[in-house]
Chain A
Amino acid sequence: MELRPIFSTLRRHKTTAWLLILEIALTCAIVCNAVFLIGQRLQRMDLPSGIAEHELVQIQLGPIGKNADAKAQSATDLAALRQIAGVRQAAMTNQMPFSCCSDSTGSIMLDPHQQQGTAQVAEFMGGAGLLSTLGAELVEGRDFQPSEYVDFDAAVQALHDGNARGLPQEIILTRGLAERLWPGQEALGRTVYFGDALPFRVIGVVASLARPKQLEQGVQYSAVLPIRMTVADGSSYILRTAPQDREAILKAAVAKLKQLDPNRVVLVKRTYDDARREYFAGDRAMAGILVGVILALLTVTALGIVGLASFWVGQRRRTIGVRRALGATRGDILHYFQAENFLLASFGIALGMVLAYGINLFLMLHYELPRLPGIYFPVGALVLWGIGQLAVLGPALRAANVPPVVATRSV
């Protein structure tokens, strides 16, 4: 296909051609970035939590008024929950990965005299069986031993008094955090510090345990402390069961807890899957909106191309007729319009790539986004070339159907 006649024609329709190029460029730039943003959201929604997600249910109770012995009550509750048929394990925890609202964090240090913490770490606390109930996989070292647990209120009191002995001495870290603290080195046996130089010895490493929120601080920067929680501390019961039993177990567990003490309020009862879905609901909605915008953009652009191409075909009916009369085949005419569109789309895409890069730089500056990977450029180009060709097909076919006799009629 010779491009020279196309160029000379376009030169006579400069304004319209430029508008089309601009529209394609803008669409290309926005679509590239929108697709990238969708990818980011999907990636976030897909982050591993490190726990047995489909086997867990969570129940959080709120006491009414002061509870004389929250510790004893929590122990009774746990024992009763473990008795429910179908419950494999039960434990208490102060927080769960990827779930809203409460979270406990601390600044971890490698050296007691360090000025700035090395990382802001999510602190998971719970009594015996927390790791195995959650299904967090211990890859190095061991779990806590019964003698190593400390009650939460005693730990708060010890912290308040500056009495390091009243606090737990051991800690379990995630592999991600250990790798951040001591890249490529053994973590077991080392000491980390929290607060005012309070030492904790690393006795175990779990493969993965995502933090509840503030993911930008490092999704996998979590630690587990052997601190026994109670209902009064705002902690939750978590139960592990077979995936198909979750709803039934949830119902039975709430009934059992109500029966043990009706004088309390169920604040949270949900499967972990629901908790996770709720946490990422905003991301899912945003991804949906982005898909909608992309579709709308591509539709508008495609319709714009159809409109302009139809206009051009109408305007050039006589020229087409003359060309046909002079021996051009239908295919020649069809290819002419297809090539013209390809050319305009290519200019638009080239300009669009520059724009896409610029928008990405702006987003990186304002929204903590990474750089747009190179793969988006060829994909974006293919999509727009495809849309352009699809849109121009109808008008081009109409042009190809212009009979040669038009040349003789219209003078």
Chain B
Amino acid sequence: MGEGPTGEMHSVFGYYFDLALRSLRRNNALTALMVLAIALGIGASMTTLTVLHVLSGDPLPGRSGSLYYPQLDPRDGHGYVPGKVEPMDQLTWIDGMNLLQAKRADRQALMTGGDVAVQPDNSTLDPFYEDTRFTTTGFFPMFGVLFEYGHAWGDAEDEAHARVAVISSRFNDKVFGGGDSTGKTLRLDGAAFRIVGVTGDWHPNPNFYDLNRKSYNEDEGVFIPLSTSQDLSMAHDGSVNCWGNGGAGQAPDHDSPCAWMQLWVQLDSPAEVAAYKEFLVHYSEQQRALGRFQRSPNVRLRSVMQWLDYQQVVPDDVRLQTGLAFGFLLVCLVNTVGLMLAKFLRRAGELGVRRALGASRRALFAQLLVESGVVGLIGGVGGLLLALVGLWLVRRQPAEYAPLAHLDPLMLLATFLLALGASLLAGLLPAWRACQVTPALQLKSN
């Protein structure tokens, strides 16, 4: 290099300036790429995680722990392998009534789903069918149903087969235009019912007490006494499981070998749970002695969350989507680690100078981690926006749970923690590698 020191300095300076400009421009794109990758990964993961969180939530927080679902096995010997066969998912009418009347739990309710024709009085509304719950009165206090107006019916009405009904506030708005509708008359399947209560904001999701219709976003508009529904042969809606020569039409027979009832009981202590389970075994033995049951006692007593888990209420597709999204996040993270490493190593010279000027390795490491944290934070904000878009897209999907897909504060916090954690994790390796620069070597190479 035959040039003098001054000329060389000038050309090197010019070259560095040029390089710096290029690098800055390139780094801009690189930074944007990292932010985009993190945002996409976080957005996808948080969308699916929120859906999973909403769908696997507790339908009745604070109450679900003491609610149990008794199951019996009244089937004949066909296909019975002791210890291998789960009992039936529902109860027969006879068993349901026997367990209900035994009153061995603190509270209990026997119920099933129905489909009932509603004939509104106001002529602007055509008759329509409404999802209805046929239940004994225990339903309301046991499940903590909130009332906007009026109250539930009582044991007396159950026994008297009274024509009384509780309606939901949505149904009240639709048929009566809202307001206190207690005392008004409602025509169901051609019979007149007196409204005694209007429920308030009470929407358990999943619809744990009867998963036969819709697991999510089921919105029953009418509740009437079980006894009354049977007097009027109202149409049952849900699943009917028969064995032997069982068969059923719209309103199953009370003595046919078919299971179509749900019983829920409230048991407030572990001792009560054990005692109730004991009772179910005794009941099965007794029924077997009577010749009604043919299998040895095969009972279960699942809590709400155990029941939801056993029924695999969260759709497979949702779990698959969550796995997919986290796979995607992983790829985005690996991508970010690579880009971050490239970005940091590019600045090896600058870092070497800082080291030579006395900055400790720890100080450099911290500086780089802060930088990756900032990338993560910006990516997290982007991810949050993308998750909101993603959830909006989920709500437009044809799934029954779609309307439930909303972000709650917990998931909002989780989004930021995930973004920050992910990008710090992604920054760890590159920062560590970049800090390995030997100050002298970097200075020498320049």
Contacts and interface: CB of A to CB of B under 8 A. Distances in A.
Interface of A: 15-16, 19-20, 22-23, 26-27, 30, 34, 37, 62-66, 115-117, 152-153, 155-156, 159-160, 162, 195-196, 198, 232-234, 263-265, 267, 278, 281-282, 285-286, 289-290, 293, 296-297, 300-301, 303-304, 307-308, 310-311, 314-315, 363, 367, 409-411
B433 A15 contact: yes
A155 B247 contact: yes
Given A62-B117, A234-B235, A310-B26, A300 B250 contact: no
A265 B117 contact: yes
A23 B26 contact: no
Contacts of B191: 65
Contacts of A411: 1
B341 interface: yes
B429 A233 contact: no
Given A282-B398, A296-B40, A311-B26, 8 more contacts: A65-B191, A195-B245, A233-B250, A264-B127, A265-B128, A286-B320, A300-B332, A307-B29
Contact of A66 (B128, B233, B253, B330): B233
A102 to B, nearest CB: 9
Contacts of B15: 409-410
Given A23-B331, A65-B190, A303 B33 contact: yes
Interface stretch (B64-72, B321-329, B415-423): B321-329
A315 B346 contact: yes
Nearest to A233: B249
Contacts of A152: 249
Interface of B: 1, 11, 15, 22-23, 26, 29-30, 33, 36-37, 40, 44, 76, 78-79, 115, 117, 119, 126-129, 189-191, 232-233, 235, 244-250, 253, 256, 316-317, 320-321, 324-325, 327-328, 330-332, 334-335, 337-339, 341-343, 345-346, 397-399, 429, 433
B263 to A, nearest CB: 24
A232 B324 contact: no
B141 to A, nearest CB: 31
Contacts of A410: 15
**Max chain B CB contacts within 10 Å: which of A195, A267, A278, A363?**
A195
A261 to B, nearest CB: 12
Nearest to B1: A411
A188 to B, nearest CB: 26
23 contacts: A19-B337, A23-B338, A30-B328, A64-B189, A65-B189, A155-B247, A156-B249, A160-B256, A196-B76, A196-B245, A265-B126, A265-B129, A281-B398, A282-B317, A282-B398, A285-B397, A285-B398, A289-B321, A293-B324, A293-B325, A303-B37, A311-B30, A411-B1
Contacts of B325: 293
A234 B249 CA distance: 8
Contacts of B331: 23, 26-27, 30, 297, 300-301
B45 to A, nearest CB: 12
B324 A30 contact: yes
A52 B321 CA distance: 35
The 3 A-B pairs with the shortest beta carbon distances in the complex, nearest first, are A65-B190, A281-B398, A311-B342
B249 A153 contact: yes
A229 B233 CA distance: 18
A394 B48 CA distance: 35
Contacts of B129: 62, 265, 267
B335 A15 contact: no
A15 B341 contact: yes
B342 A300 contact: no
A117 B245 CA distance: 14
A354 B211 CA distance: 40
B269 to A, nearest CB: 36
B334 A26 contact: yes
A233 B397 CA distance: 32
Contacts of A296: 40, 44, 328
A301 B33 CA distance: 11
A234 B176 CA distance: 28
Nearest to B128: A265
B334 to A, nearest CB: 4
A19 B334 contact: yes
A115 B79 contact: yes
Contact of A293 (B36, B79, B244, B328): B328
A395 to B, nearest CB: 10
A118 B138 CA distance: 42
Contacts of B190: 64-66
A19 B341 contact: yes
Nearest to A288: B397
B330 A16 contact: no
A263 B23 CA distance: 78
Contacts of A23: 331, 334-335, 338
Contacts of A290: 324
A156 B250 CA distance: 11
A159 B246 contact: yes
A66 B234 CA distance: 9
A65 B117 contact: yes
A22 B335 CA distance: 9
Contacts of B433: 15
Nearest to B244: A196
Contacts of A115: 78-79
Nearest to B248: A156
A367 B22 CA distance: 50
Contacts of A62: 115, 117, 129, 235
Contact of A307 (B1, B324, B338): B338
A232 B429 CA distance: 70
B29 to A, nearest CB: 8
Contacts of A363: 320
Nearest to A103: B239
B375 to A, nearest CB: 13
B23 A314 contact: yes
A357 to B, nearest CB: 15
A44 B143 CA distance: 40
Given A30-B327, A153-B249, A367 B339 contact: no
Nearest to A198: B245
Contacts of A409: 11, 15
Contacts of A285: 397-399
A22 B331 CA distance: 8
A61 B1 CA distance: 96
B247 A156 contact: yes
B317 A286 contact: yes
A64 B341 contact: no
A116 B79 contact: yes
Contacts of A20: 338
Nearest to A359: B327
Contacts of A30: 324, 327-328, 331
Contacts of B33: 303-304, 307
A300 B244 contact: no
A30 B342 CA distance: 25
Nearest to B247: A159
